[in-house]
Structure 1
Amino acid sequence: MSDALSPPPPTSPAAPAGAASHSHSATGARIIAITSGKGGVGKTFVSANLAAALTRRGQRVLVLDADLGLANLDVVLNLHPKITLHDVFTGKATLEEAVIQAPGGFNVLLAGSGMVEYSRLTPEVRNQFLSVIQALTPQYDVVLLDTGAGISDVVLFSISLASEVLIVATPEPTSLTDAYAAIKVLAMQQKRQHVRMVINQAARPGDGRAITSQLQQVLDRFVTTESGRPMRLIHMGDIPADPSVRDAVMRRQLLLLQTPGCPAALAIAQLANKIETTLLTPAA
């Protein structure tokens, strides 16, 4: 598969000190961080269902729960892991033992919640995290990092390991304000030239595109990247408000498995298609 993964273009941002470079090797996975300005916008829901949709398209996918303090990927997937990232970090288990298969056919590495010692980015946590990522990327086509919300140093560090950032926001003003704050930090601190947007719980078709262009206008006025060009937002799609989502989340089921024909599931399948064609397919 190595030829299918072209390196990012030269505009790819420089890595902060101590982080892996924002790229993937010719043989490694494409690393995509899925993040949000505020919590509760459906970031983990998107990560899990997107992984299922990419797996269905024949990609080898790993979701890594990078929300080290408040992990909840296990809840969304109804998994009860005996071994988590915590056990790997403390040397109680190997990485191979900690990676498990989720419903939907993709692999997950769960963090284990309430790990207070990992809510701060110490050099030790940074190094352990890096070595886990480096060990895993050669085995997959895509690694999705389900990060925490906000702009803590742990969140920003996990985002720094990714070549692409997907920000999940809802149309609510608080979500957009926080998304803007996060984007601004990514432009300033990580020198990113672009981030990708997904608007979840969109009320009407076209809402997400309108919201993205509104945010873009604010960025154009107030945020310049290192290159002197404005930070570019790339609208990747909307996920419509859909009662099936709440039902799937309450049942701890993947939406794509429970009601694959519902509007939100179809939108996630479209998002997977767009990610595959724009990020995972070799340039002609």
Structure 2
Amino acid sequence: MNDAPLPQPTTPAAGAPASAGAATPPITAPVDARIIAITSGKGGVGKTFLSANLAAALTRRGHRVLVLDADLGLANLDVVLNLHPKVTLHDVFTGKAQLENAVIKAPGGFSVLLAGSGMVEYSRLTPEVRNELYNVIQTLAPRFDVVLLDTGAGISDVVLFSVSLAQEVLIVATPEPTSLTDAYAAIKVLATQQKRQHVRLVVNQAARAGDGRAITGQLQQVLDRFVTTDSGRSMRLIHMGDIPADTSVREAVMRRQLLMQQMPGCPAALAVAQLANKIESTLLKPASQ
């Protein structure tokens, strides 16, 4: 393992607002790891559930996966995975622990780096938080095939900076109007401030097959009218899949278990597996056998 610099993002952070990356050192040398930010406009849409189960599905396909809880201050990945870490990202940031001691194995075989919860000092993007988070990702990314950043919801400076470190962005939304409105707002910010040309969309809790594709088309029409990228083209919204509404999801969440392990044959788990397959085929190198 080495500590090579992070790969150059496909859409550079240079377009982000000054508070979300002005002091970030330049990212130069490429590495094989793909960094994917999993984010949302609105909270409570199943973003962390998807991050954890997608990590399990990608691990099952042979990839080395790290999930970093980038929802600084309101972290809940530990709750979803029923983990009780002795060392968190907060301890690393404050110099109380080494980074290597904070990375632990989760159920499902992937690695996680958990953040402390209720840390008010992480509610805004200070230069210290920005540099510490950047350095953590720079150090860890080369050691994995894919890094999933489970960000907070919305368009705060902390969320936007976390997203700016990723090569690809996966927006999670539900069919509810408030979720779609907030998803549009987040996508617009990513186009105008981070100069992204495209983002990817997963529709969670879909009531019917085809809902997600129809929603993607509706959002694309709005983007075509109101959001233009630096290239002069509309922001491109790529539909990655739907996760159907499934009572098994709530059961797994309440039990603090991975759906991919406990009920791998349920509709939602099969949809997550399909999403992992699509991410592998479009974004990742095939796992070594």
Give the superposition deviation at 1:138.
0.9
Give the superposition deviation at 1:14.
2.8
Query: Which consecutive segments of 4 or more residues in structure 1 shift more than 2 A?
Result: 16-21, 23-28
Within 5 Å, give how 1:42-191 maps onto structure 2: 42-191=46-195
Matched AA of 1:228: G
Conserved in 2, the CA contact under 8 Å of 1:19 and 1:161? no
Give the superposition deviation at 1:15.
1.7
- What per-residue deviation string (whole Å, max 9, x for no partner) do you get for residues 57-95 of structure 1? 000000000000100000000001110000000111000
Within 5 Å, give how 1:256-267 maps onto structure 2: 256-267=260-271
Q: 2:275 aligns with which of 236, 259, 271?
A: 271
Conserved in 2, the CA contact under 8 Å of 1:33 and 1:144? yes
2:203 maps to 199
Matched AA of 1:268: V
TM-score, normalised via structure 1 length: 0.93
Conserved in 2, the CA contact under 8 Å of 1:55 and 1:106? yes
Distance 2:87 2:28 in 1: 27
2:17 maps to none
Which structure 1 segments of 5+ residues have no match? 1-6
Closer, same or farther: CA 8–153 of 1 in aligned 2, 3 Å: closer
1:30 maps to 34
> How big is the alpha-carbon RMSD for the aligned residues of Structure 1 and Structure 2?
1.7
Which structure 2 segments of 5+ residues have no match? 1-6, 15-21
Conserved in 1, the CA contact under 8 Å of 2:12 and 2:164? no
State the SS of the aligned residue for 1:126.
helix
Give the superposition deviation at 1:24.
8.6
State the SS of the aligned residue for 1:214.
helix
1:14 maps to 12
Matched AA of 2:104: I
Question: How many residues are paired up?
Answer: 274
Q: 1:226 aligns with which of 211, 214, 230?
A: 230
Distance 2:106 2:264 in 1: 17
Distance 1:25 1:46 in 2: 30
Distance 1:58 1:184 in 2: 35
Conserved in 2, the CA contact under 8 Å of 1:13 and 1:190? yes
- What per-residue deviation string (whole Å, max 9, x for no partner) do you get for residues 83-134 of structure 1? 0000000111000000000000000000010011011100011000111001
Closer, same or farther: CA 40–222 of 1 in aligned 2, 3 Å: same
